[in-house]
Amino acid sequence: MRFLLRFASLVALVVAVIAGTIDSIQSVASSAVVLTPMGDAWNDVSPSSLATVRSAISYYVHPRFYDMAMQWLLFQPAFAVFLILSLLLWMVAYKRPAAAGRLGA
């Protein structure tokens, strides 16, 4: 399980770097800071899955949850969302070293 979480963390980190690189290229091209919101990036990649998630959250959780939490999340920069997701997955999969080191029982 730890391996899958680390792999998912790596994938999220790669997506964050790609999103950040795209934002950097667009910022240089337009001579202004460009930050692509998560909702726009998700809609560009797969608009049907965005609609599916919206209907699933509205049906299974609560319609206002989508309006409050998901709308807030979808307006955040895509690279930041994936960086935070990568960090959280890595923290869950992290294994602490033994307290006594190699000689501990």
Q: By the 8 A CB rule, do 19 and 84 touch?
A: no
pLDDT exceeds 60 at position 20:
yes
Q: What is the mean pLDDT of residues 65-77?
A: 86
The tokens 């399980």 sit on which residue?
1
Q: Which of the residue ranges 4-8, 26-30, 33-37, 57-61 would you say has the lowest mean pLDDT? A: 57-61
DSSP 8-state class, residue 76? S
Cα(20)–Cα(66) distance, integer angstroms: 26
Please state, in angstroms and rounded to a whole number, the distance separating the CA atoms of residues 40 and 33: 16
Averaged confidence pLDDT in the chain = 89
Please give the backbone phi and psi of residue 77, each rounded to the nearest 5 degrees, phi first.
-60, 140
In this prediction, residue 102 has a pLDDT band, given cuts at 50, 70 and 90, of: low
Asked whether 60 and 53 are in contact (CB, 8 A), the reply is no
**Do residues 34 and 23 touch, judged by C-beta distance below 8 A?**
yes
